[in-house]
């Protein structure tokens, strides 16, 4: 399962879930922007970073990593990337590291070289199979679906879909959450077709509603706007981008201006 992609998509769409995993108020996400960062001088990228919206010394940077495969060299790479990033930027914020494992058995057993950092309180290790079983938010329950046993995953997904229908009022967010739940199940049941998955989860009916279709269209437009900065960096003009993405020139300009102000 492409777990890192799922988690980064989850944090991009619902950053509050990350802070719920840390047992912090979901509102903490309002002070952050989740993105990937690149150190151009060294040609490396860190995919999961929560950067404070304002450069306030009391607000830490969070470096998030999803690790679902055993890797003896993981911590050497993880800490090296963090310190190189801090060295090459002008940020003065404190920092925290967060590593998400499916179980403790996935983590490397020999961590002697990094025990001071791991025990310092700077690094939080989260084991999904040890999260509480009751009273969790729909976001946390969606995260736990990743490690749900196959024999109970479909039933759990249907419960989450029904919970999303009842609790999530924003139609665009509801659509994104339903797609994430479906994606997790698709990766779990690779032998089934998308149509079989949709029938198993009962998603066919909701996708035919006018509200869902409108939310889908809105999400597609947002996805197109996110590609504008990249296309500009390749040398495309505003008019060319508008034509290729089937957007108005004004929409492209606004997306470019928003990126430059970040």
| pTM assigned to the model | 0.74
> Is the CB of residue 237 less than 8 Å from the CB of residue 228?
no
Please give the pLDDT value at position 207.
47
CA distances to 23, 79, 95 from 123, in Å: 14, 10, 9
Segment among 115-129, 154-168, 191-205 with least mean pLDDT: 191-205
**Quick check: 134 pLDDT over 90?**
no
> Is the CB of residue 88 less than 8 Å from the CB of residue 44?
no
The model's confidence at residue 64, banded by pLDDT at 50, 70 and 90, is very high
**Quick check: 251 pLDDT over 60?**
yes
Round the average pLDDT of the chain to a whole number and report it.
Answer: 83
* Cα gap 144→18, rounded to integer Å: 13
**Quick check: 13 pLDDT over 90?**
no
Phi/psi of residue 45, nearest 5 degrees:
-130, 140
Please give the pLDDT value at position 81.
92
Instruction: List all residues 6 or more positions away from 215 whose beta carbon is below 8 Å from its beta carbon.
Output: 171, 172, 174, 175
Instruction: List all residues 6 or more positions away from 20 whose beta carbon is below 8 Å from its beta carbon.
Output: 26, 137, 139, 140
| Residue with more model confidence, 64 or 56 | 64
> Is the CB of residue 47 less than 8 Å from the CB of residue 58?
no
Please give the pLDDT value at position 194.
75
């Amino acid at each position: 399962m492409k777990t890192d992609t799922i988690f980064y998509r989850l944090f991009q769409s619902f950053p509050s879930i990350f802070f719920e995993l840390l047992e912090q108020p979901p509102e903490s996400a309002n002070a952050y922007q989740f993105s990937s960062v690149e150190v151009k001088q060294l040609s490396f990228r860190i995919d999961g970073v929560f950067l404070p919206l304002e450069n306030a010394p009391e607000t830490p940077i969070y470096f998030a990593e999803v690790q679902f495969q055993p890797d003896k060299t993981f911590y050497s790479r993880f800490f090296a990337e963090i310190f190189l990033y801090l060295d090459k930027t002008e940020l003065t914020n404190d920092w925290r590291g967060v590593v998400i494992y499916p179980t403790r058995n996935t983590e490397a057993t020999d961590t002697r070289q990094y025990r001071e950092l791991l025990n310092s309180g700077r690094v939080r290790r989260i084991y999904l199979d040890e999260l509480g079983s009751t009273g969790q938010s729909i976001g946390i329950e969606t995260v736990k679906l990743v490690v749900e046993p196959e024999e109970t995953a479909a039933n759990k997904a249907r419960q989450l879909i029904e919970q999303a229908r009842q609790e999530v009022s924003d139609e665009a967010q509801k659509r994104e959450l339903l797609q994430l739940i479906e994606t997790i199940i698709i990766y779990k049941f690779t032998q089934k077709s998308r149509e079989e998955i949709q029938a198993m989860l009962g998603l066919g009916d909701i996708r035919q509603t006018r509200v869902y279709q409108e939310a889908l269209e809105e999400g597609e437009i947002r996805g197109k706007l996110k590609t504008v900065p990249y296309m500009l960096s390749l040398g495309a003009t505003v008019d060319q981008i508008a034509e290729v993405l089937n957007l108005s020139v004004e929409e492209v300009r606004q997306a470019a201006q928003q990126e430059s102000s970040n």
